[in-house]
Amino acid sequence: MREEAVVPVAEDIIDDTMSSDNDAELDDNLDHDDNEHTVDQPGRLVSSLDIKSSRKNALLRLRCRVEDAILGGYIYGKNKNKLLSIKTITEDLTGISLWGVPLLPSKDNARTDIVLMNFLRAKDYGVYDAFKMIRKTLRWRREFRVFEILDQEKFSPDLENMWYIDNGNDKEGRLLCYNVFRNIKNKELEEEIWGRHNHNYECLRWRVHIMEKSTQQLEFKQGGVNSVLMITDLGNSPGNAWKEVRWINRKMMNLVHDHYPGIIYKNIFINVPVWFATVHALNLRMITQRSKNAFIFVKPSKVTETLLKYISPENLLADYGGLKRENNVEFSTDDKVLEISIKPCSFGLIKMPVKEVEVTITWDLTVVGNEVIYKEEFIPDDDCSYRVLVQEDKKMVESVRNSFHIREEGKIVITIDNPTYKKKTAFYRYKTKPSVPMYMYLK
């Protein structure tokens, strides 16, 4: 006989010709002068008192290098134009910024240190390598005309609709950015997105456009929103365009690795087809282990389970097994979400008591991985009253929302049948509000 689990209701990221080999050697010594091991969160800057002394020294030395390079006019590399005066260069570069943050340390902008620390972390706190990375990033942005992408370049509305920044955050407060391809049905749009017919360069610029829009939302301050959790849904990606896809994604992977250090906390690819995972297994060999850890590939059956590791149920979209819905007027992210576990081959009961009358109770329910059968009913407290079947036995395939008008005290009981040999986790929430039943309006 199956076991019944009754759960109580809770109340409740040009080589430097001005540098010498001694500088690089000094950087290496700095990285190993402490025996203690400290882990810094990508995208976050802890208090200066909490940073290892070697890392504080590395930050100070990088600040000096960047300051000298900007004021000396060689932040983009060695000046080859002998006719351009140092004074002119200095006037042009003192206002230089990256991701909206001034780079000149003497301006005493607190956000500058956050950006510099991103480059230091990417190079394991090697000042020489971090400085070279900054210069290469600034040169790339100028050559790729990144500012034109944001201010002048226009993409089709269909392309723009393929991505959006969610107004929620992950469990650590990071920005959520979705890049959704699963609803593409227009073949011409599909070709534009995936860069067919020599549109690869335009598609790459569109992907950079997404990155830049995301960085505009970051705060770059201590304890603030300083990194992005990027979710890419490949549910409808074209399998016959693998050459174009491989080129675009390899390019984008290298750009993120080289020019956006610390910006992407994790890049989660969901609903991944086998061909895509194979392609990226080859691409990942060309980047560092630190960057490899930022890429996660998830097959369709593991989407909800994986995303819930990073995003709370109330902030995860219902399309992916969460409880969040567009234009949600019933619930907010502040409404408490309850959790129960259902053992393999057993039943779970969710009880939602209602001690008021003439109210409507609304509830959300999701089960990680689905594969369960659920039933909803209203059970009055009065033994002489009839039970009301709200939802007969039904296989769960997505997040559920339902409501019921209460005319007498009782409770909503949801029975979840888990016929699998795997433990299941269910998340739910509910609330009541005064209402008038529909038949009163008809009168």
Percent of the chain as helix, strand, coil, to the nearest 5: 40, 25, 40
Residue type at 342 in one-letter notation: I
Give the pLDDT confidence score for residue 20 in this predicted structure. Answer: 41
**Which residues, listed in sequence order, are joined to residue 351 by a DSSP beta bridge?**
413
Q: Which whole number is the average pLDDT over 92-103?
A: 86
Question: What would the pLDDT profile of 335-360 be if each residue is shown by its tens digit?
Answer: 899 999 999 999 999 999 999 998 99
What 8-state DSSP symbol labels residue 9? P
Question: What would the pLDDT profile of 365-406 be if each residue is shown by its tens digit?
Answer: 999 988 999 999 999 999 889 999 999 999 998 899 999 999
CA 64 to CA 11: how far, in whole Å? 55
| Token representation of residue 141 | 């942005």
Give the pLDDT confidence score for residue 30 in this predicted structure. Answer: 42
Give the pLDDT confidence score for residue 364 in this predicted structure. Answer: 95
Contact 280, 249 (CB under 8 A): yes
Give the pLDDT confidence score for residue 279 in this predicted structure. Answer: 62
Question: What would the pLDDT profile of 404-421 be if each residue is shown by its tens digit?
Answer: 999 999 999 999 999 999
| Token representation of residue 127 | 């000042």
How far is CA 122 from each of CA 40, 260, 377, 441, rounded to the nearest angstrom? 11, 10, 55, 63
Contact 404, 358 (CB under 8 A): no
HEC-encoded secondary structure of 287-354: CCHHHHCCEEECCHHHHHHHHCCCCCHHHCEHHHCCCECCCCCCCCCCCCCEEEEECCCEEEEEEEEE
Question: What would the pLDDT profile of 3-41 be if each residue is shown by its tens digit?
Answer: 444 433 333 333 444 444 444 444 444 444 443 333 344
Give the pLDDT confidence score for residue 235 in this predicted structure. Answer: 76
CA 374 to CA 412: how far, in whole Å? 13
Question: What would the pLDDT profile of 34-75 be if each residue is shown by its tens digit?
Answer: 433 333 444 444 444 356 788 889 999 999 999 999 888 888
Contact 435, 386 (CB under 8 A): no
User: Which pLDDT band, with edges at 50, 70 and 90, does 118 fall under?
Assistant: very high
Continuous segment of H or E residues that includes residue 269 = strand 264-270
Contact 241, 278 (CB under 8 A): no
Q: Against a cut of 0.85, is the pTM above it?
A: no
φ, ψ of residue 385 to 5 degrees: the values are -90, 160
Average pLDDT over the chain reads 78
Question: What would the pLDDT profile of 131-146 be if each residue is shown by its tens digit?
Answer: 999 999 999 999 888 8
Residue 109: exposed, middle, or buried by beta-carbon count in 10 A (0-12, 13-18, 19+)? middle
What 8-state DSSP symbol labels residue 15? -
Contact 374, 347 (CB under 8 A): no
Question: What would the pLDDT profile of 272-324 be if each residue is shown by its tens digit?
Answer: 877 666 666 655 555 556 666 778 888 888 899 999 999 999 999 988 999 99
Give the pLDDT confidence score for residue 344 in this predicted structure. Answer: 93
Question: What would the pLDDT profile of 231-251 be if each residue is shown by its tens digit?
Answer: 988 776 655 555 666 677 778
* Torsion over CA: 205, 211, 215, 216 (sign): positive
Residue 32: how many CB atoms within 10 A of its CB?
9
Contact 401, 363 (CB under 8 A): yes
Closest CA to 16 of 46, 61, 56: 61
